[in-house]
């Protein structure tokens, strides 16, 4: 009996996906729940699991194909993987032995000592890659699936130049070099390299242009003295981590302060739908996370009902999954307000772009000691510039400024968040 493998149902916000890689070939045995292929959408990389044991019979959408929900990907012959694969294995046994791979299997030749996850290992071995030349963005420099996918994209887009005859025997793989272009006026040779945008990068670009084109964006600034927050963290960070199993960071304070300010200025938590303003009576807070593939904004849902510890654990979990390329689509959909922290990269001030269809975004920046006048004295204080970019179509300047001042007040006196005053 044959079974059709089709593209899983994609969310309404995702139009299509690209088949990035197949981990099985026609004739290969398949075990239930084994990952057959990777599909890249404009948000995440999806795995296509095998519904049952069997053998791969036919691939209908090879790597590089753009597919939509329900489209046929492959056909498998259902049954026992060992029995179904007996004939193809016998045929392969009778055929001449294939030449050894150009690059040795990474686990054996490179000694990755188990640092590659099973899905990453399959992708590396399938494409005969050397994992030591792939920059890892995971924890402790581990290579993630998104790292391998990006490496393959770059390799496909870069032309290969055949090595000299004397070097062919020693060279295990094609040498990839950047194409060169001569400048007629100067006669100099300058290198260039063209790399196709990933679907995530294309989606980010489209959303940024859409936000600029459809919203009346304006940015207001303020600064906040984080002395009280730093003192609280220094006093309780060890006991907090011991009690809750999570580190006490700055982000939970900013999420909580934003929620209290959003309760006072509901228009900042609203969105535009045609000629209507939609007031959201819940607080799903997006937290921008930077990855090697681009910016992702996972959502902390019902953040107003969660404790500091729950928020910190959820954000840490999202950050880890984003780096590993295992973020789920539902983690990235929705949201009523977003926070983004350019300060981790050293940004002192910026104007973030609203994550449409939301109407506002709060930008955090680098904490820097500056001289401030405090009760008539000049003191060094840990200061941060805050930026609120908002859709001026529905948010007036007064509401935006007062919202920003409210966030500042809650952070400078965190006890107000506990007392909700």
Question: Where among 98, 133, 150 does a domain terminate?
Answer: 98
Residue 95 has pLDDT above 50, yes or no: no
354: its two tokens: 């609203």
Specify the pLDDT at position 314: 94
CB 272 within 8 A of CB 359: yes
Inside any domain, residue 200: no
* Residues 222 and 79 placed together within one structural domain of the fold: no
Residue 235 has pLDDT above 90, yes or no: yes
Instruction: Provide the number of structural domains found in the chain.
Output: 2
Closest CA to 297 of 285, 314, 309: 285
Residue 180, Ramachandran bin (φ over 0: left; ψ between -120 and 50: alpha; else beta): beta
pTM of structure: 0.64
Inside any domain, residue 236: yes
Inside any domain, residue 162: no
CATH code for position 265: 3.30.559.10
Q: Where are the alpha helices (DSSP H) in 35-117?
A: 81-84, 86-94, 106-109
pLDDT in tens, 152-176: 877 766 654 444 444 444 444 444 4
* Residues 93 and 231 placed together within one structural domain of the fold: no
CB 391 within 8 A of CB 214: no
**Containing structural domain, residue 365:** 216-419
* Residues 225 and 83 placed together within one structural domain of the fold: no
Inside any domain, residue 166: no
pLDDT in tens, 102-135: 444 444 334 444 567 666 777 777 787 888 888 8
Question: Where among 98, 116, 144 does a domain terminate?
Answer: 98
Q: Quick one: three-class SS letters along 218-253?
A: EEEEEEEECHHHHHHHHHHHHHHHHHHCCCCCCHHH
Inside any domain, residue 295: yes
* Residues 83 and 224 placed together within one structural domain of the fold: no
CATH code for position 33: 2.40.50.100
- List, by residue number, the catalytic residues: 392, 396
DSSP 8-class letter at 102? S
CA pair distance 120, 171, nearest whole angstrom:
25
Question: Where among 98, 130, 154 does a domain terminate?
Answer: 98
304: its two tokens: 């107003």
pLDDT confidence tier of residue 348, bands split at 50, 70 and 90: very high
Inside any domain, residue 398: yes
CB 247 within 8 A of CB 312: yes
Inside any domain, residue 199: no
CA pair distance 262, 268, nearest whole angstrom:
6
CA pair distance 289, 257, nearest whole angstrom:
19
Inside any domain, residue 242: yes
Which SS3 state, helix, strand or coil, does residue 212 take?
helix
């Amino acid at each position: 009996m044959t079974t059709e493998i089709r593209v899983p149902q994609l969310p309404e916000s995702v139009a299509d996906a690209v088949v990035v890689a197949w981990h099985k070939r026609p004739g290969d045995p398949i075990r239930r729940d084994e990952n057959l292929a990777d599909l890249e959408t404009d948000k995440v990389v999806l795995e296509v699991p095998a519904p049952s044991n069997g053998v791969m019979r036919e691939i209908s959408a090879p790597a590089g194909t753009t597919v939509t929900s329900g489209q046929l990907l492959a056909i498998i012959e259902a049954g026992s993987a060992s029995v179904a694969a007996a004939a193809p294995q016998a045929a392969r046994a009778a055929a001449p032995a294939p030449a050894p791979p150009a690059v040795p299997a990474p686990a054996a030749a490179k000694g990755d000592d188990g640092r590659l996850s099973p899905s990453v290992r399959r992708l590396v071995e399938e494409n005969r890659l050397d994992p030591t030349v792939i920059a890892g963005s995971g924890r402790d420099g581990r290579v993630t699936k998104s790292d391998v996918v990006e490496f393959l994209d770059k390799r496909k887009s870069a032309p290969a130049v055949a090595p000299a005859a004397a070097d062919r025997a020693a060279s295990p793989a094609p040498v990839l070099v950047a194409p060169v272009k001569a400048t007629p006026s100067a006669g100099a040779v300058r290198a260039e390299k063209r790399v196709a945008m990933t679907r995530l990068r294309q989606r980010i670009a489209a959303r940024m242009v859409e936000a600029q084109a459809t919203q009346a964006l304006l940015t207001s600034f303020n600064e906040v003295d984080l002395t009280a927050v730093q003192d609280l963290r220094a006093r309780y960070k060890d006991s907090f981590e011991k009690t809750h199993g999570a580190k006490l960071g700055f982000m939970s304070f900013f999420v909580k302060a934003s929620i209290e300010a959003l309760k006072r200025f509901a228009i900042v938590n609203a969105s535009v739908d045609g000629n209507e303003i939609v007031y959201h009576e819940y607080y799903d807070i997006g937290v921008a996370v930077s990855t090697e593939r681009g910016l992702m904004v996972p959502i902390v849902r019902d953040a107003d009902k969660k404790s500091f510890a729950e928020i910190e654990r959820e954000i840490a979990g999202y950050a880890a999954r984003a780096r590993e390329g295992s973020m789920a689509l539902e983690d990235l959909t929705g949201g009523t307000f977003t926070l983004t922290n350019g300060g981790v990269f050293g940004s002192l001030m910026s104007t973030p772009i609203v994550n449409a269809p939301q109407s506002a975004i709060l930008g955090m920046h680098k904490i820097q000691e500056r001289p401030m006048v405090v009760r008539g004295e000049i003191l060094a204080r840990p200061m941060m510039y805050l930026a609120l970019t908002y859709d001026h179509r529905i948010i007036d300047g007064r509401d935006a400024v007062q919202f920003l001042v409210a966030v500042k007040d809650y952070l400078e006196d965190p006890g107000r968040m506990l007392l909700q005053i």
